[in-house]
Structure 1
């Protein structure tokens, strides 16, 4: 419960996009945070080596967990920011966009993307 002295909750944005653009995701997170927004973003980059996903079995299991977790982030967010350098949208990101649309979430893009407003 909030009272009259409690400031309103800042907007929550979820970043979607390919981890092949990890640096662009980090830059978007920085800019959105500096703009006063709560940022939900991918926390693992399976394209970088790490003991948590160093076997195909671990990697496939974790990818499934992360994909579902990211949909839950979309549930929590007020809107979606698609980080798509060069207009690139991969299969996973497309699925996330479709899911966000099904929930009526507003969607923004960092770069122009044919077929997407």
Structure 2
């Protein structure tokens, strides 16, 4: 198990399209089993839910979630991009750029 200098488990943040929700869940399972603290997307806006049933609600929530995910990147020691088939969308690409600008190591579940 990797630990940080503060002698706590490593924190990893998962990035990737929520269209791959099952793959994100699977990655969280493996990262947790490896002894890491996992930060991941908490909402899948591609699935119906009363919190984002109205278009205006979904737009406002998406903006807030994008900012929240960047704060998760701030907290993380490294980033794991969940990219089945090598797919990386615009939002994920922006998160990768943000993480790299902070000097965070970036790993991928699939070759790019």
What is the TM-score with the length of structure 1 in the denominator? 0.90
Specify the alignment match of 2:3 in structure 1: none
Give structure 2 stretches of 5+ with no counterpart.
1-5
Where 1:47 maps in the other structure, the secondary structure is: coil
1:7-86 to 2 correspondence within 5 Å? Answer: 8-86=7-85
User: 1:25-48 CA deviation, whole Å, 9 max, x = no partner?
Assistant: 000000000000000000000000
Match of 2:89 in 1: 90
Q: Which runs of 5+ in 1 are unaligned?
A: 1-6
| Higher gyration radius (CA) | 1
Q: 1:8: Cα distance to partner?
A: 1.6
Residue 112 of structure 1 aligns with which residue?
A: 111
What's the CA shift string for 1:34-66, capped at 9, x where partnerless?
000000000000000000000110000000000
Q: RMSD of aligned C-alpha atoms?
A: 0.9
Shift of 1:104: 0.4
- TM-score of the pair, normalised by structure 2: 0.94
SS state of the match for residue 10, structure 1?
Answer: coil
